[in-house]
């Protein structure tokens, strides 16, 4: 492939600038390899977070040619040949140094979400019985590697900085994961509307487009949650029906056996 030119953001929380570097590109190389080469040969102080180099740890999130992507999963030969490759840190989070951002806000957000609250165990040995069909839906959400690329691309956080009112697509996926779990007894719908700000999402599908795990964030997590919010807060017929027919959460089902044991 020859040489590639990288335009890498260098700076800290105060100021910064793009700096150009060149790297020898070999077959199968990814952007993270090129950044490591720059670190090894030209800029030993270049800060870059990475870990698995296999698209599973979610550490090397950055913006490559303006698109949020994992550096370790972006092959150089997939980028336009002969053009300078721009590598920037994620814009949604405070910059620490060069390509490394402080994603600590996400950990604080997660603490605010009511945790998974399973029903009483179905069996005396503390286990539950659930149908694979019911598990399938939430298993998709468990693929999340918390790379926060979806948070980065979400314009509500990225451009409008609604960090104090909106949890972002990553945590709407998390909410869907616990809320739709057949074993869960919790009810987070009021929080999803009021505290976690689902109404701010205007369904651009940018989060779905950048997810390296291919989670259908908008269609399978956010919109179903929006519909559950409609059920409880905007649909007068559903609200009326709920008065007549009390809401039946999975945890209120009769367990198969051994109800006195806890998981």
Partner 1 sequence: MAAVSLPLARKFGETARRDRWWLTPLLVVAGFGSFIVYATWAALQGQHYWVNGTNYLSPFYSPELWGNSPHAWFGKSPSWWPAWLPYSPAIFILWAPAGFRMTCYYYRGAYYKAFWADPPACSVGEPRKGYIGESNWPLRIQNIHRYFLYVAVLFIFLLAWDALQAFRFADGFGIGVGTLVLCVNVVLLAGYTFGCHSLRHLVGGRKDCLSESPGCKAMHTGCSALNRKHGLWAWMSLFSVMFADVYVRLCSMGIWKDIRLI
Q: Which residues bind partner 1 (CB under 8 A)?
A: 11, 13-19, 63, 65-68, 80, 83, 86, 88, 91, 94-95, 130-131, 133-134, 137, 153, 155-156, 158-160, 162, 165, 180-182, 184, 197, 199-206, 209-210, 218-219, 223-224, 226-231, 234-235, 249-250, 253
Q: How far is the CB of 195 from partner 1 (least distance, A)?
A: 12
Q: For every residue of 208-250, which 3-state class applies, written as one string?
A: HHHCCCCCCHHHHHHHHHHHHHHHHHCCHHHHHHHHHCCCCCH
Considering beta carbons, is residue 22 or 250 the nearer one to partner 1? 250
Considering beta carbons, is residue 52 or 78 the nearer one to partner 1? 78
Q: How far is the CB of 76 from partner 1 (least distance, A)?
A: 15
Q: How far is the CB of 110 from partner 1 (least distance, A)?
A: 21
* Cα 241-242-248 angle, rounded to 5 deg: 125
Q: How far is the CB of 133 from partner 1 (least distance, A)?
A: 5
Considering beta carbons, is residue 130 or 240 the nearer one to partner 1? 130
Considering beta carbons, is residue 58 or 197 the nearer one to partner 1? 197
Q: Measure the CA–CA gap between 184 and 141, rounded to whole angstroms.
A: 15
Considering beta carbons, is residue 24 or 159 the nearer one to partner 1? 159
Largest CA distance in the chain: 71
Q: How far is the CB of 131 from partner 1 (least distance, A)?
A: 4
Q: Which residues contact 27 (CB under 8 A, 6 or more apart)?
A: 1, 77
- On whether the CB atoms of residues 166 and 191 are closer than 8 A, the answer is no
Considering beta carbons, is residue 27 or 133 the nearer one to partner 1? 133
- Measure the CA dihedral 74/79/84/87, to 10°: -20
Q: How far is the CB of 84 from partner 1 (least distance, A)?
A: 10
For residue 253, the cross-strand partners are: none
Q: Which residues contact 216 (CB under 8 A, 6 or more apart)?
A: 140, 208
Edge-to-edge strand list for the sheet holding 2-11: 2-11, 85-88, 61-64, 67-70
């Amino acid at each position: 492939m020859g040489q590639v030119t990288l335009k890498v953001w260098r700076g800290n929380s105060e100021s910064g600038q793009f700096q150009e570097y060149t790297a020898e590109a070999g077959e199968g190389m990814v952007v993270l390899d090129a950044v490591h080469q720059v670190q090894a040969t030209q800029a030993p102080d270049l800060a870059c977070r990475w870990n698995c180099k296999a698209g599973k740890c979610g550490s090397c999130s950055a913006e490559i040619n303006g698109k949020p992507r994992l550096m370790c999963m972006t092959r150089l030969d997939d980028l336009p040949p002969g053009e300078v490759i721009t590598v920037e840190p994620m814009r949604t989070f405070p910059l620490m140094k060069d390509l490394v951002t402080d994603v600590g806000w996400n950990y604080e957000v997660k603490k605010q979400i009511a945790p998974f609250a399973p029903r009483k165990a179905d069996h005396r040995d503390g286990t539950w019985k659930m149908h694979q069909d019911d598990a399938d839906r939430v298993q998709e959400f468990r693929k999340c590697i918390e790379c926060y690329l979806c948070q980065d691309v979400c314009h509500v956080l990225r451009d409008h900085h609604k960090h104090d009112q909106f949890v972002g697509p990553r945590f709407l996926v998390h909410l869907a994961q616990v809320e739709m779990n057949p074993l869960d007894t919790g009810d987070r719908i009021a929080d999803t509307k009021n505290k976690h700000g689902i109404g701010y999402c205007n369904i651009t599908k940018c989060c779905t487009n950048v997810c390296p795990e291919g989670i259908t964030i908008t269609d399978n997590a956010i919109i179903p949650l929006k519909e559950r919010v409609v059920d409880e807060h905007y649909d007068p017929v559903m609200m009326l029906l709920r008065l007549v027919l009390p809401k039946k959460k999975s945890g209120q089902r009769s367990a198969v056996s051994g109800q006195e044991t806890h998981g």
